[in-house]
């Protein structure tokens, strides 16, 4: 069984599209009917996130079970780890991780598994910079010029990562970190001797949100760069 883990904290604006995309990836013919479980780990949610998951769960079947578990941590490391434990209890051989504001491609799981390694670190794309309004074009150019969206990159994104269950267990799993839990896991996996693919083949599209959930994460990095761009513009640089 393949497990998809999606942490979420008040993600009602994005979660429906995220789950539609994950379900399409789970139905890929090249998986040859292998069962997939999609678990949304709801961390301290007070919005409609749970209702959205339950609606998708009601439409699922045995080939793709959708469920949720509730965590009260306000900590993405704790939440991802809880989702991973849930998957391992259900017998997952492969753990695929993404985020609630991200849409995976239909061949996302297939691309991860075809790389035949212990760990897959993928890239992210952004197709809508408009949330940043006047800074949208500046951010788009900065991302295009500074980000390596190609095989051999060394980006680490919790929104696009896959790891074999046995490798995950050997590395000790996610640490209870409020940010960079994905980086810490990759470091532990490298120490454990896991085989890596730094690949652009598993595709995901993530949001350029202005309400970043984690300090130091992808969204927060965009906000900090946007602030720098505003300051430079104000100073006439």
Confidence (pLDDT) at 71: 97
Neighbouring CB atoms inside 10 A of 27's CB total 14
**Confidence at residue 196, expressed as pLDDT on a 0 to 100 scale:** 98
DSSP state of 102: E
What is the per-residue pLDDT for 208?
Answer: 87
Residue 36 pairs in a beta bridge with 2, 64
pLDDT at 62: 85
- pLDDT value, residue 122: 98
Distances 150 to 142, 143, 153, 198, 234 between C-alpha atoms, Å: 16, 13, 6, 9, 35
Determine the pLDDT at residue 211.
77
Instruction: Could you please state the CATH topology (level 3) that the domain comprising 2-123+148-203 is classified under.
Output: Spore Coat Polysaccharide Biosynthesis Protein SpsA; Chain A (3.90.550)
pLDDT, one tens digit for every residue, the chain (237 residues): 999 999 999 999 999 999 999 999 999 999 999 999 999 999 999 999 999 999 999 999 888 999 999 999 999 999 999 999 999 999 999 999 999 999 999 999 999 999 999 999 999 999 899 988 888 888 898 888 889 999 999 999 999 999 999 999 999 999 999 999 999 999 999 999 999 999 999 999 999 887 766 666 776 677 766 666 656 555 655
Detail the DSSP E strand segments found in the chain: 2-8, 36-43, 64-71, 94-97, 102-104, 119-121, 161-164, 196-198, 204-206
pTM, two decimals, is: 0.92
Domain residue ranges in the chain: 2-123+148-203
What does the pLDDT read at residue 134? 83
């Amino acid at each position: 069984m393949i497990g998809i883990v999606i942490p979420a904290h008040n993600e009602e604006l994005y979660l429906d599209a995220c789950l539609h995309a994950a379900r399409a990836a789970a139905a890929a013919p090249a998986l040859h009917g292998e069962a997939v479980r999609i678990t949304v780990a709801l961390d301290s949610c007070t919005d409609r996130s749970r209702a959205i998951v339950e609606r998708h769960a009601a439409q699922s079947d045995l080939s793709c079970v959708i469920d949720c578990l509730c965590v009260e941590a306000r900590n993405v490391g704790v939440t991802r780890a809880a989702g991973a434990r849930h998957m391992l209890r259900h017998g997952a051989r492969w753990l695929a991780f993404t985020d609630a504001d991200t849409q995976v491609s239909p061949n996302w799981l297939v691309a991860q598994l075809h790389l035949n390694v212990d760990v897959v670190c993928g890239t992210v794309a952004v197709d809508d910079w408009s949330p940043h309004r006047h800074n949208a074009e500046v951010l788009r150019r900065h991302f295009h010029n500074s980000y390596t969206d190609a095989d051999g990159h060394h980006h680490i994104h919790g929104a696009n990562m896959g790891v074999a269950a046995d490798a995950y267990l050997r590395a000790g799993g996610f640490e209870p970190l409020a940010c960079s839990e994905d980086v810490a896991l990759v470091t532990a996996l490298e120490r454990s001797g896991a085989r890596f693919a730094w690949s652009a083949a598993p595709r995901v599209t993530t949001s350029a949100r202005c309400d970043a959930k984690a300090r130091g994460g992808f969204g927060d990095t965009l906000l900090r760069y946007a602030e720098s761009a505003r300051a430079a513009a104000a100073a006439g640089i």
